[in-house]
Amino acid sequence: MSYQYLRLPADGEMVRVAGGRLSVPDHPIIGYVEGDGIGPDIMRACLRVWDAAVANAYGGRRRIHWMEMLLGEKAAEVYGEIFPEETRRAMQDVVISIKGPLTTPVGGGFRSLNVALRQDLDLYACVRPVRYYAGVPSPLKDPELIDVVIFRENTEDVYAGIEYRSGSEEMRKVERFLREEMGAEFFENPGIGIKPMSPYGTKRLVRKAIRYALDNGRESVTLVHKGNIMKFTEGAFRNWGYEVARDEFGDRTVTEEELYSRYGGKVPPGRIVIKDRIADIMFQLMLLRPNEFDVIATPNLNGDFLSDAIAAEVGGVGIAPGANISDHVAVFEATHGTAPRYANLDKVNPGSLLFSGVMMLDFMGWKEAAELITYAYPDVISQGIVTYDFARQMDGAVPVRTSEFALALIEQMQGGVDYEARRRARLQAIEAERQQREAQRTARPYTEMEASGRQPLTVGEIMSSIRAVPGDTTVGKAMRFMREQGISSVLVEPYGHDDWAIMTQRDVVKRIVLEQRSPAQVKVAEIASRPLVMLPPGTSLFDCGQRMLAANVRRVVVGEAGQPIGIVSDTDIFRLIDRFGWTPE
């Protein structure tokens, strides 16, 4: 393995992929790109912090051997191009790299360097963890409720780069095809962009998000989309996401619909919840109820907006980490721009790149080193040791240089951080929150659905628990039971050769009053209606309504394997529509 301008460290070992899994040696070669603008300032500071964390966590047993790679302006000086083939090949060879911000050209007819990197290395998952660190200035009242990991599809959607300038020959060809062959109507001389979204691209992204959630003890994966408008792209993303969960992780996942209809709001042990939300509603929910979301999987454009918006809630993109990952190759990165006016001033906040390195250490399996930085960071912030951007938002803080902040962080780590105790405390707090949410779901399911942005769509989600009496119960006794329970019908258990049945108020009027019989002498099995109209829990409310009309009944029984588990009436559907509204299918 040789390169023309790049230099492999003499003492390090290559990271390998064996049996579909990463194999990271104790002395790995890891690539880094300084970046443009402020990149060199923050990269120098962060390299010192990462090295100190590794040394402190492992007592010299482990060490990263850094290999500089060239991209952007520095590459142009050496290779005459901003994304040389040698760097692309080296990033694949070393498997794991981290980079500073790179200049993204605007217009000019060539691809963004960042987009080119993602597409050429097939880094299909943009992973953006967003959590709050104590002491960091935030515009929210309770920013500590935010702890999500966003998986943004990185290669498709409108970012695929398939677009044609207004008035160009290519645009005219597409325009003619759309108008003449497809019957499309739009204004004259548009710029035209194509939004490709495929089952392959979607499923591998959602698969990675689900695996991450399972491997890291997360509670849910939320598919964020705009499928109510773009049904064949964003709507398909949602559907393909559910397919992956069902077909590949069926024994370890449960849909949100099943959570309410089958499990009464309680997450079964060893499973995670798969749910979905409309993109614009999700922005609102991340402000109002952020702790209900955990891992988020979303198409490219939604993910771009959402990741920066949520980052603003916990301190801004200046401390927001990120990574672009393929099946194995990973490039971690600062998520902000190059800020050229601050270049070489040793002034800016290194947080985004710093925590991207924490992500990298965690990705390598070096969790102890990652947690040293994670738990030392808020200690430094709480002492008022911050860069200028935080200092102007904090009372009593004195701004320090980028390099000085790095030194303070290193000294804090070396002074002793009981990260294991803090980790246990954090996990206990997370578990307590989960139990509280579960209690709310089980006690007030409709209220929780509405507040969390979910509209019930199936009979299993709105069914009431069944009330049943033995078939030989007298009608009079059953009527008293119905009055006491505040219900208008009661299920009748199998009696003799008869199957399950239902006795309603109408049955009493029709078969007791009009037939001049005594409710004290007649058994419920004699007047109950049968056979039951029984539907599976996943039946849509639309299909349920059709069955009610076809059978001329006001209520249906929800059942599995021939056994009733709930009941839904037309009154239940009316109340649902009155509360949530109704969106036609």
Give catalytic residue positions. Answer: 159, 226, 280, 304
Q: What is the residue type of 103?
A: T
Give the DSSP per-residue string, 238-302: HHHHHHHHHHHHTTTEEEHHHHHHTTTTPPPTT-EEEEEEEHHHHHHHHHHSGGG--EEEE-HHH
Non-local (6+) Cβ contacts of 420 within 8 A are: none
Residue 5 CA to its chain's centroid (Å)? 40
Q: Which residue has the tokens 């070396």?
A: 414
How far apart are the C-alpha atoms of 255 and 261, rounded to whole Å?
Answer: 10
Give the DSSP per-residue string, 505-572: HHHHIIIIITTT--TTTSBHHHH-B-S--EE-TT-BHHHHHHHHHHHT-SEEEEEETTEEEEEEEHHH
At 468 the three-state DSSP class reads strand
DSSP-assigned letter for residue 162 = -
Question: What is the number of other CB atoms lying within 10 angstroms of the CB of residue 330?
Answer: 24
Q: Which residue has the tokens 């009493």?
A: 508
Dihedral sign of CA atoms 315, 318, 321, 322 in order:
positive
How far apart are the C-alpha atoms of 270 and 281, rounded to whole Å?
Answer: 29
Strands 489-492, 501-504: pairing is antiparallel
